[in-house]
């Protein structure tokens, strides 16, 4: 694990984000608290619809209608609560202080301008004095990711493959030297080998620059290789969080256990890999009381029907589950 005092800490507290639906405003992220340790990579995993992208957008105060951040804070060292930033302050923060690749970055480039022109626009909009150096940095980043930088910068979006566009997105997230970087499914358009290579390069750049990085993926196996910490999301909650080797090695939440069992690379034996039964909830089917995972849970108890499990932290690990055993209380202060 890399720790560097220059890297900022990110503290998400009690974050709730709702989307307006025909059935009213429903939460996509519910009371999430998550700290990104300075200088570390935190992976976020969870099935589609668990709220990963909504959490990522919140780190940049970029949730758009019909969505709305209903409660909570996102404190970033040196920036304060980004949920209180607006207008010009917010525009300057995005890209320069917090670099990002949003999901489907392959299609977010401007089709009418070359990548190089968009890079220069980005540099100018952030008052980068040395645009030549910016272009040189961009080329170097693209070259590291196996692309011909000069050629990519001269290209329009339609001349690039999905995988190339994704690497352009990663380059744009890194090129302004932001110290917090948020990558939402940055490698999904890539084949397995290229995906592993790109994640390794993200790791290298992260270490060289002492960043605090969040990488979202639905591929637990891929992120296992690069992340320091892992947060597991389900139904808009972070149900488990901790050092990645521990979370994957001794998962405490039944959902994490199920996710791991479903991955041959992690469960160790392809014949033992078993898909998690059932489907994740949507905003409309999310239970309003009790544990959001109970319908699919093999450790379900009576209390899970009515009481939402509290998020409990011990041994540096966080878990929200009634059935996840706590260690026997030794010397509890409440005795006094
Ligand atoms: N613009 C939107 N309008 C309504 N519901 C949305 C919108 N965006 C996301 N959602 C819902 O919010 C939940 C979380 O979505 P999202 O954050 O994209 O999850 P993930 O990235 O984990 O797949 C899902 O149920 C999704 O359908
Ligand atoms: Mg997503």
Cα distances (Å, whole numbers) of residue 108 to 118, 157, 164, 169, 330? 11, 9, 13, 9, 53
**pLDDT for position 327:** 60
Burial pattern 151-164, b for ≥16 Cβ within 10 A else e, equals ebbebebeebeebb
Q: Is 46 in the pocket of ligand 1 (CB under 6 A)?
A: yes
Tens digit of each residue's pLDDT, the chain (336 residues): 444 458 999 999 999 999 999 999 999 999 999 999 999 999 999 999 999 999 999 999 999 999 999 999 999 999 999 999 999 999 999 999 999 998 865 567 888 999 999 999 999 999 999 999 999 999 999 999 999 999 999 999 999 998 899 999 999 999 999 999 999 999 888 888 889 999 999 999 999 999 999 999 978 888 988 999 999 999 999 999 999 999 999 999 999 999 998 887 776 666 767 788 899 999 999 999 999 999 999 999 999 999 999 999 988 899 999 999 766 555 555 554
Question: Which among 138, 134, 133 is positioned nearest to 148, based on CA atoms?
Answer: 138
**pLDDT for position 225:** 86
- Positive or negative, the CA dihedral 167, 170, 175, 177 is negative
Q: How many CB atoms lie within 10 A of CB 49?
A: 20
Question: Has domain 10-97+178-335 been given CATH number 3.40.50.300?
Answer: yes
What backbone phi and psi angles, to 5 degrees, belong to 74? Answer: -130, 95
pLDDT tens sequence across 188-231 = 888 888 899 999 999 999 999 999 999 999 788 889 889 999 99
pTM above 0.85, yes or no: yes
Mutate to test the pocket of ligand 1, among 16, 19, 24, 216 (most ligand atoms within 8 A of CB): 19
Question: Which among 115, 234, 236, 218 is positioned nearest to 164, based on CA atoms?
Answer: 115
How far is 137 from 142, CA to CA, in rounded Å?
9
**pLDDT for position 193:** 87
**pLDDT for position 4:** 45
Q: Is 52 in the pocket of ligand 1 (CB under 6 A)?
A: yes
Q: Is 53 in the pocket of ligand 1 (CB under 6 A)?
A: yes
**pLDDT for position 331:** 56
Which two tokens mark 188?
A: 């999904």
Burial pattern 171-184, b for ≥16 Cβ within 10 A else e, equals bbbbbbebbbbbbb
Which two tokens mark 331?
A: 């010397």
Q: Is 19 in the pocket of ligand 1 (CB under 6 A)?
A: yes
Query: Are 112 and 157 a contacting pair, CB within 8 Å?
Result: no
Which two tokens mark 202?
A: 């993200």
- Among protein residues, the one whose CA lies closest to atom 18 of ligand 1: 53
Mutate to test the pocket of ligand 1, among 16, 28, 55, 218 (most ligand atoms within 8 A of CB): 28
């Amino acid at each position: 694990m890399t720790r560097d005092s220059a890297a900022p800490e990110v503290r998400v507290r009690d974050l709730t984000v709702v989307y307006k639906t025909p059935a009213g405003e429903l939460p996509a992220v519910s009371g999430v608290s998550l700290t990104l340790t300075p200088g570390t990579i935190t992976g976020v995993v969870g099935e589609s619809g668990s709220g990963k992208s909504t959490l990522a957008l919140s780190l940049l105060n970029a949730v758009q209608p019909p969505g709305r951040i209903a409660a909570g804070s996102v404190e970033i060292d040196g920036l304060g609560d980004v949920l209180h930033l607006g207008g010009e302050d917010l525009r300057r923060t995005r890209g320069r202080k917090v670099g990002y690749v949003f999901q489907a970055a392959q299609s977010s480039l401007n089709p009418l301008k070359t990548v190089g022109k968009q890079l220069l626009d980005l540099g100018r909009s952030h008052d980068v004095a040395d645009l030549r150096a910016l272009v040189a940095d961009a080329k170097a980043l693209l070259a590291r990711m196996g692309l011909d930088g000069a050629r990519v910068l001269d290209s329009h979006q339609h001349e690039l493959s999905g995988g190339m566009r994704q690497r352009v997105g990663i380059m744009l997230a890194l090129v302004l030297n932001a110290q917090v970087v948020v990558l939402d499914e940055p490698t999904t358009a890539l084949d397995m080998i290229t995906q592993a290579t790109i994640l390794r390069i993200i790791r290298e750049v992260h270490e060289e620059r002492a960043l605090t990085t969040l990488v979202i993926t639905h591929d637990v196996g891929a992120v296992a290789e690069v992340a320091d910490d892992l947060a597991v999301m389900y139904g808009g909650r972070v149900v488990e969080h901790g050092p990645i080797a521990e979370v994957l090695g001794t998962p405490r939440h039944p959902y994490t256990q199920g996710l791991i069992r479903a991955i041959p690379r992690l469960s160790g034996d392809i014949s033992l890999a078993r898909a998690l039964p059932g489907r994740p909830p949507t905003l409309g089917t999310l239970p309003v009381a009790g544990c959001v995972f109970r319908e699919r849970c093999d450790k379900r108890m009576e209390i899970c029907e009515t009481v939402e499990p509290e998020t409990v932290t011990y041994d540096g690990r966080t878990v929200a589950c009634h059935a996840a055993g706590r260690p026997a209380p030794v010397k509890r202060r409440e005795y006094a």
